[in-house]
Structure 1
Amino acid sequence: MATLSDNKSKLSQVQALVDILKVDFRVHDLPPEKRVAALEELKVFGRDANQSDPIFTREGIEMLCKHAFEGTDNKSALEAMRCLANALLIAPETRHIFVELGYAEKAVNRYQRYRQNDSSHEEFLAGRILFLVTYATADLLKWLEEYKLAKYLNDAIMRHGKIYSKVNSNEQPSAMQDMAFTETTKLLFNITHFAPEKVDLFSRSIPSLFKILCRRTLPSLPLQSSIAHLVNALLNLDLSSQPGCVFPSFDPTCNVARLIRVLDLSVGSPNDNHDDQRNRLFDEAGVPLITLLRKVFEISSGQAKECVRKRLLPSDEQRKDPLGKGGSLASRLLQLSTSAVALNTRQHLASLLFEVSNSNPEEFVRNVGYGYASGLLLSAGVQLPQSALEDLSTSSDTFGRSFNPVTGQALDREPELKDPLSEMSEEEKEREAERLFVLFERIKRTGVVDIQNPVEKALHEGRFEELD
């Protein structure tokens, strides 16, 4: 058997392995353990596309498909699926070859076989292969109905949900179960994205997805885990078809509160260097989470809406300082909505806060201050009438305190502005006046600005007083 340490070139070794495995499928002359070893070696070579061309040809892909979906040895089949998944990932053109060879239905059948074998490895590998091939096929409708992929996906998600079914159980999935779930949710997202007219086929998965979201232990960076793919999977589904599951009667706020908890863990302060990684990750992966929250808020009512407003909008207590200055979730969201470190998400965050304010410009300004609201209103082409700003300047919070409409801070908490001249002696005032007189004269002589020295103007207007 050829190895990486042999003197032969990598290309010749890869070609030799492909030839051996092609012949083996026809005549079955390799013992199962040697077949697995050959496929394992081919898998190692195939991790790098350089000099691995024989794997990515039509003949190479067909050979891997035969071993993966038509062989009788399960270990060899799993190893061939690993090789195939790598090839489909590294060389996107092989996805079209896979479809043209007609192996989609066999891959779907392999995906549902994991239930018989209770094998997360099979779900993971078949799910990944199908996920990658969704980018190269127009036959998704046939997959969903004729090949029954919609049924198999729903069954898989319900099976993952059962892990969390025990009340007060701390049971969590194994690493392999989690990886399999990730591939299943990625496949669900792609299918609902490319075939939006069939999202109703997956409505029965909504309860299990929310169950997993609520009972799954959240890592410190949720958007680096399978939680991110779960959010994506929910994104395209018709949540209004299952209102009783999105807002269960025993606690209508549990699901929306969990989404806000994920948001809370994902958002850091732009002013804290320790939160740089958190905010970079959020800016890369946070848009689906914000969008899902907006969708849930849109169909929610009563308690759920109030829960969102209470967590995402500044409280009256926070008006002791200018809004956006503290470390609460509401403050961090305001900071990010205008931050240069959140170029992808800041517009979405501002839109979320606007919608939570009932999409009412005056209420939006009242909630977050005109300083934060002006950017979104300007980009949306919404002008706030001067009369509205005047009304806001006299409005008050639930404690009856008036607040600054620009900063959102309660007026009775704003620092008193001191007269800068109050602590200056007469001599200091005279020196300052002389300095300003000279400065204005210099500016006037440049000719750049047509300006009149205010001292000269006061003299002409007779506003000077002779002193003893």
Structure 2
Amino acid sequence: MAAPSSNASKLSQVQALVDMLRTDLQDHHLPPEKRVITLEKLKVFGRDVNQSDPIFTMEAKMLCKHAFEGTDSKSAQEAMRCLANALLKVPGTRQIFVELGYTGQAVNRYQNDSLDEEFLAGRILFLVTYATAETPKWLEEYKLANYLNDAITRHGIIYSKINKNEQPSALQDMAFTETTKLLFNLTHFAPEKVDLFSRSIPTLFKILCRRTLPSLPLQSSVAHLVNALLNLDLSSQAGCVFPSFDPTCNVARLIEVLDLSVESPNDNRNNQRNQLFNEAGAPLVTLLRKVFEISSDQAKKYMRIRLLPSDEERKNPRGKDDSLASRLLQLSTSAAALNIRQHLASMLFEVSNSNPEEFVRNVGYGYASGLLLSAGVELPQSALESLSASSDSSGRLFNPITGQALDSEPETKDPFSEMTDEEKEREAERLFILFERLKQTGVVDIQNPVEKALHEGRFEELD
């Protein structure tokens, strides 16, 4: 909608609209259509904070009355849009909203089977959680936990009707996103109440498994769904997290999201994907770690197969191919993944049963050493000695530093094998001169190895 006329100053136009809407609360002189248009004009002005002061002060009480005390649903929703915009643009209005005492009415909007009102109420309450410590009161006294669970159930029904080639409508996806964002904040600010949302765990996993994943899942509602699961007590619904018909289906879906979210840091074409993962990937990795902790043996085995390098990959040093495990290893030491690499290393360590020796055997000491050092975990000398003779499941010995099978390592050529005796003699003279010059600098006290070899009789006189 185009902005209202700029003939008068913006501030005076905003004030005139606010006065008109305040008067309408008393005498209801505006027809519903005119009231909606007036609120739309005010919403457009509110997109820019400059000269829109009346929207962001106690005048917001007028908007609250239109939003939660009016009888016209279209006007109420437009007023809620104005409020949501104000709460986003000027954080100070969140405290004003709490002081005006309209939180309970906003919660009640979740009872309606309306995607528009779920979207708007969800966004308003999500923003207000940052301005109050009363979230536990919302959950039980205002019954918000029940309303949120019911809303998630309704979304589960929507997804259960979707065919493979269909997706939820844009409004359905937007409403679900606001609900999951609110759920995350509620469980974050009121962790003692997370059990109130346990019945939503199966539905959230069902939605995760049945919706089509976009190419960048962490840029979609999938990321908010993962966040919503993060603080919940998954062990309370372990039978649904690891269903008997397929104990690995939910784990497989989370790993699929992970697979779509990471690329090799050496592939410059996919910097955007890894940048996004670096910024938003920690909840996904943390959720996988929580799931592994409560997993059945079958699910743990599946996670190890998918997340850790296989014996087949020992043909090359660890982290040198394009498998998911290799990409995770590369990111766990990448300077371009500062926010996420510690989370990745910790996940790989835990999937290795939190056993330092097993961790080194799985990923190679080169990758494992950083995490072990930062965590203060010391690998015993006996373990290092046993690793030097370690073998994979097929019995092949492997290099404990790189993780590569010894029979796959390139043969090391003797650098002197193709030199003539005269060339070897000239090389020895060159090295002798270089070491003598180094000694003369006084920087280091070093014995010339050529001189040492001569004294020890390791030089052979040539004809």
What does residue 24 of structure 1 align with? 24
Partner Cα separation in structure 1 for residue 6 and residue 222 of structure 2: 44
Shift of 1:167: 8.8
Give the AA of the match of 1:359: S
Deviations 1:40-68 (A, max 9, x none): 11111111112211110112x11110111
Q: State whether residues 398 and 405 of structure 2, in contact with CA within 8 Å, keep that contact through their aligned partners in structure 1.
A: yes
Partner Cα separation in structure 2 for residue 337 and residue 441 of structure 1: 44
Q: State whether residues 370 and 405 of structure 1, in contact with CA within 8 Å, keep that contact through their aligned partners in structure 2.
A: yes
What does residue 83 of structure 1 align with? 82
Partner Cα separation in structure 2 for residue 372 and residue 256 of structure 1: 25
What does residue 99 of structure 2 align with? 100
Residue 323 (1) aligns with residue 318 (2)? yes
Partner Cα separation in structure 2 for residue 197 and residue 17 of structure 1: 44
Deviations 1:297-341 (A, max 9, x none): 000112111110000011110000001000000000000000011
Partner Cα separation in structure 2 for residue 391 and residue 95 of structure 1: 61
Give 1:348-387 correspondences, 5 Å limit.
348-387=343-382
Give 1:105-124 correspondences, 5 Å limit.
105-113=104-112, 115=113, 119-124=114-119
Q: State whether residues 230 and 286 of structure 2, in contact with CA within 8 Å, keep that contact through their aligned partners in structure 1.
A: yes
Q: State whether residues 270 and 335 of structure 1, in contact with CA within 8 Å, keep that contact through their aligned partners in structure 2.
A: yes
Shift of 1:7: 2.4
What does residue 460 of structure 1 align with? 455
Q: State whether residues 396 and 405 of structure 2, in contact with CA within 8 Å, keep that contact through their aligned partners in structure 1.
A: yes
SS of 1:164's equivalent? helix
Partner Cα separation in structure 2 for residue 349 and residue 245 of structure 1: 26
What does residue 412 of structure 1 align with? 407
What does residue 183 of structure 2 align with? 188
Partner Cα separation in structure 2 for residue 466 and residue 251 of structure 1: 75
What does residue 58 of structure 2 align with? 58
Partner Cα separation in structure 2 for residue 442 and residue 349 of structure 1: 48
Q: State whether residues 68 and 77 of structure 1, in contact with CA within 8 Å, keep that contact through their aligned partners in structure 2.
A: yes
What does residue 125 of structure 1 align with? 120
Gap regions ≥5 residues in structure 1: none
Shift of 1:170: 4.6
Residue 199 (1) aligns with residue 194 (2)? yes
Shift of 1:442: 1.7
Give the AA of the match of 1:365: V
Shift of 1:441: 1.9
Change (3 A) 1:315 1:456: same
Q: Tell me the matched-pair count.
A: 462
Gap regions ≥5 residues in structure 2: none
Q: State whether residues 163 and 172 of structure 1, in contact with CA within 8 Å, keep that contact through their aligned partners in structure 2.
A: no
Shift of 1:287: 0.5
Shift of 1:78: 0.9
What does residue 48 of structure 1 align with? 48
Shift of 1:458: 2.9
Partner Cα separation in structure 2 for residue 316 and residue 454 of structure 1: 42
Residue 37 (1) aligns with residue 37 (2)? yes
Partner Cα separation in structure 2 for residue 21 and residue 50 of structure 1: 21
Give the AA of the match of 2:344: L
Q: Which stretch shifts more, 158-167 or 93-102?
A: 158-167
SS of 1:297's equivalent? helix
Q: Decide which of 282, 290, 303 is 1:287's aligned counterpart.
A: 282
Partner Cα separation in structure 2 for residue 76 and residue 253 of structure 1: 48
Partner Cα separation in structure 1 for residue 90 and residue 444 of structure 2: 64
Partner Cα separation in structure 2 for residue 453 and residue 52 of structure 1: 81
What does residue 346 of structure 1 align with? 341
Q: Decide which of 425, 441, 444 is 2:439's aligned counterpart.
A: 444
Shift of 1:171: 4.0
Q: State whether residues 3 and 45 of structure 2, in contact with CA within 8 Å, keep that contact through their aligned partners in structure 1.
A: no
Partner Cα separation in structure 2 for residue 12 and residue 428 of structure 1: 93
Residue 431 (1) aligns with residue 426 (2)? yes
Shift of 1:452: 2.1
Q: Which stretch shifts more, 335-344 or 25-34?
A: 25-34
Q: Which stretch shifts more, 262-271 or 170-179?
A: 170-179
Shift of 1:166: 4.4
Shift of 1:3: 5.6
What does residue 140 of structure 1 align with? 135
SS of 1:341's equivalent? helix
Partner Cα separation in structure 1 for residue 433 and residue 440 of structure 2: 11
Partner Cα separation in structure 2 for residue 4 and residue 73 of structure 1: 23
Q: State whether residues 43 and 82 of structure 1, in contact with CA within 8 Å, keep that contact through their aligned partners in structure 2.
A: yes
Q: Decide which of 237, 240, 252 is 2:235's aligned counterpart.
A: 240
Partner Cα separation in structure 2 for residue 102 and residue 130 of structure 1: 13
Deviations 1:150-198 (A, max 9, x none): 1100000011001222496554210100000000000111101111111
Partner Cα separation in structure 2 for residue 265 and residue 461 of structure 1: 61
Q: State whether residues 392 and 398 of structure 2, in contact with CA within 8 Å, keep that contact through their aligned partners in structure 1.
A: yes
Deviations 1:320-376 (A, max 9, x none): 000100000000000000001111110010110111011111111111111111111
Shift of 1:463: 3.8
Q: TM-score, normalised by structure 2?
A: 0.97
Deviations 1:204-223 (A, max 9, x none): 00010000000010000100
| CA RMSD across the alignment | 1.4
Partner Cα separation in structure 1 for residue 204 and residue 365 of structure 2: 38
Q: State whether residues 3 and 13 of structure 1, in contact with CA within 8 Å, keep that contact through their aligned partners in structure 2.
A: no
Sequence identity percentage = 82
Deviations 1:385-425 (A, max 9, x none): 11111101112111110000110000000011111000112
What does residue 248 of structure 2 align with? 253
Partner Cα separation in structure 1 for residue 313 and residue 67 of structure 2: 60
Partner Cα separation in structure 1 for residue 415 and residue 286 of structure 2: 49
SS of 1:252's equivalent? coil
SS of 1:284's equivalent? helix
Give the AA of the match of 2:324: L
Give the AA of the match of 1:18: V
Partner Cα separation in structure 2 for residue 194 and residue 324 of structure 1: 39
Shift of 1:72: 1.4
Q: State whether residues 3 and 44 of structure 2, in contact with CA within 8 Å, keep that contact through their aligned partners in structure 1.
A: no
Change (3 A) 1:198 1:406: same
Shift of 1:460: 3.5
Partner Cα separation in structure 1 for residue 425 and residue 29 of structure 2: 106
SS of 2:63's equivalent? helix
Partner Cα separation in structure 2 for residue 268 and residue 151 of structure 1: 40
Partner Cα separation in structure 2 for residue 260 and residue 137 of structure 1: 36
Partner Cα separation in structure 1 for residue 452 and residue 238 of structure 2: 72
Q: TM-score, normalised by structure 1?
A: 0.96
Shift of 1:239: 0.5
